[in-house]
Amino acid sequence: MRMQGKIGLVTAAASGMGRAGALLFAREGASVGVVDRDAAGVAAVVEQIRAAGGKAHGVVADLATDAGAREAVSATVAAFGGLDFAWNHLGHPGPARVEGLSQSDFDLAVDLNLRSVIITTEMAIPAMRARGGGAFVFTGSTASLVGSPYSPVYSAMKHAVVGFAKALALRLAPENIRANVVCPGPIDTPMLPVFGNRPDQPGRGEDMSEAKLAERRKVVPLLRFGQPEEVAAAALFLLSDDASFITGVALPVDGGITAK
């Protein structure tokens, strides 16, 4: 098992890609901190891991706050005695518009997509250092690599995540701590309709009917949406020792969208 004996955490782990990652890492032998503000979702994931013989600890925290972001790390370290890896998966689509952008909408997008990432990383570095090294994976997006006309603020934040990871990769390399980014394209999760149904999105805001979903699939060179487990598998690779010579990389998991 590729994560045997390792301790890690996954943020936004109650559903979608984060949930898939927590389950996969536990199956691969890791002790996993399952972090989300959704208490029922956290409990369900923890129970599923334990029922399969894995080790998990639930952390209910609001990562929009600095206290919640710090709790995600400190509670995991307290539960298992250390930290070897973190998948900082939290993301928020934010406002579609730039004109008329409210301060509160902007602040929430920054807090969830960037500030929480930096605060949890701040807490995790000493814990990894104490274990002689470790690995971060951050969730970016295809909007980390190319511009998104429908989500400019989100795209800005996710570009920043890639820049942060690359800087960390250089800064922490002497301490055997790696940092990489996984960049999903359209993935079949509860978040997918949110991007298409925002009323302030120019030319969008339509119901995500099966016909509309079919149109979206045609944009993907592989002609389908990705599955959460496919993104989790990429994160597992980047966090595992199989990727021990890989740091500072932003890996698209997008069915070929950014190859265009």
Return the residue matching tokens 């399952």.
34
- Which residue in the list 85, 136, 138, 154 is annotated as catalytic? 154
Residue 182 sits at φ, ψ, to 5 deg, of: -105, 130
Are 187 and 226 a contacting pair, CB within 8 Å?
yes
User: How is residue 129 written in tokens?
Assistant: 């250092």
Torsion 24-29-35-39 (CA) sign: positive
Give the Cα separation of 143 and 148 in Å (integer): 6
> How many residues are present in the chain?
260
Burial group, residue 233, by CB count within 10 angstroms (0-12, 13-18, 19+): middle
8-state DSSP, 226: B
Active site residue 150: no
User: How is residue 87 written in tokens?
Assistant: 């998948």
Are 138 and 93 a contacting pair, CB within 8 Å?
no
List, by residue number, the catalytic residues. 154
